[in-house]
């Protein structure tokens, strides 16, 4: 069932609450109040890095990739139960966040909660006919984009690693996404090591600027692990941030 905030009816839900299904950043950064959260699963769709992001995790010149629910398979995520007293507030927030470029089709879908309850929940399914929809990327191609892109909400790789971290915390293993994450980490670590070598040899402003581009990625311990001595990285980060 398609959902439109204009004709969103309380009769679609229990009188006291409604559910939202998150499968990407909504899992670890919902941004709205809720009274209950639990692991949940949806059938008929799978999580996929299939949407170009030119706002939150990329730019017009270097788009990133964010998640969509794409056809086929199943997807584990987190369901949030929202009190009906803040229904309009939460719906408006979700539309502002997810529907800017209208690449998602908001739907009311049946989901299965961890305790075996079956409920209807709002979720966002990718529109395959949208220009920002991408398909048939290899793991290497996906990892290359994820490692290089960054947008208003930070590095694309942080987005992917945060999602993997949340999935791990609820006991979900996504092997294909983990593989992409490891490839992206390896790529970023190699770039850090190369720039570190150049910096150590030349200490030029150009190198500082390149390092500054990667500073945002250093927030993840996985990226710095073994790449650069931590004490040395603190000095480089300060210099990079102040480079002209």
Q: Is the domain of 104 the same as that of 142?
A: yes
d(CA 34, CA 109): 19
Task: Decide which of 123, 149, 173 is a domain's last residue.
Answer: 173
In the chain, how many domains are there? 2
In terms of Cα–Cα distance, which of 191, 133, 125, 123 is closest to 157? 191
What is the extent of the structural domain holding 190? 174-244
pLDDT by residue for the chain (244 residues), tens digit each? 555 554 454 445 555 789 999 999 999 999 999 999 999 999 999 999 999 999 889 999 999 999 999 999 999 999 999 998 998 899 999 999 999 889 999 999 999 999 999 999 999 999 999 999 999 999 999 999 999 898 888 889 989 999 999 999 999 999 999 999 989 988 887 776 665 565 555 555 555 555 555 554 545 544 544 444 444 445 545 555 555 5
- pLDDT of 5 reads 55
Q: Is the domain of 127 the same as that of 204?
A: no
- pLDDT of 228 reads 46
92 is a catalytic site residue: no
Q: Is the domain of 164 the same as that of 210?
A: no
Residue at token pair 């390092």? 211
- pLDDT of 12 reads 55
Q: Is the domain of 125 the same as that of 215?
A: no
Task: Decide which of 173, 206, 235 is a domain's last residue.
Answer: 173
Q: Is the domain of 68 the same as that of 180?
A: no
Cβ burial, residue 60 (10 Å; 0-12/13-18/19+): exposed
Which CATH number fits the domain that encloses residue 149? 3.10.490.10
Q: Is the domain of 114 the same as that of 40?
A: yes
Q: Is the domain of 26 the same as that of 124?
A: yes
Q: Is the domain of 117 the same as that of 204?
A: no
Choosing from 9, 36, 92, 98, the catalytic residue is: 98
């Amino acid at each position: 069932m398609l959902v439109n905030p204009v004709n969103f009816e309380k009769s679609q839900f229990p009188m006291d609450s409604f559910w939202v299904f998150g499968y990407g950043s909504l899992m670890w950064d919902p941004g709205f109040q809720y009274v209950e959260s639990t692991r949940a699963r949806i059938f008929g769709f799978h999580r996929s890095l299939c949407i170009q992001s030119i706002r939150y995790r990329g730019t017009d010149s270097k788009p990133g990739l964010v998640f969509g629910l794409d056809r086929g398979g199943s997807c584990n995520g987190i369901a949030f139960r929202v009190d009906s007293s803040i229904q309009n507030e939460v719906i408006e927030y979700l539309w502002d966040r997810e529907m800017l470029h209208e690449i998602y089709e908001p739907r009311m879908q049946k989901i299965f909660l961890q305790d075996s309850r079956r409920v209807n929940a709002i979720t966002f399914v990718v529109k395959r006919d949208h220009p920002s929809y991408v398909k048939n990327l290899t793991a290497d191609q996906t990892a290359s984009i994820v490692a290089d892109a960054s947008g208003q909400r930070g590095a694309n790789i942080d987005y992917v690693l945060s999602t993997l971290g949340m999935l791990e915390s609820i006991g979900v293993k996504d092997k294909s996404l983990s593989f992409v994450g490891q490839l992206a980490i390896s790529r970023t670590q190699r770039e850090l090591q190369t720039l570190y070598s150049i910096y150590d040899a030349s200490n030029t402003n150009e190198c500082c600027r390149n390092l500054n581009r990667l500073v945002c990625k250093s927030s993840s311990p996985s990226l710095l692990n073994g790449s650069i001595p931590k004490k040395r990285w603190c000095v480089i980060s300060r210099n990079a941030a102040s480079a002209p």
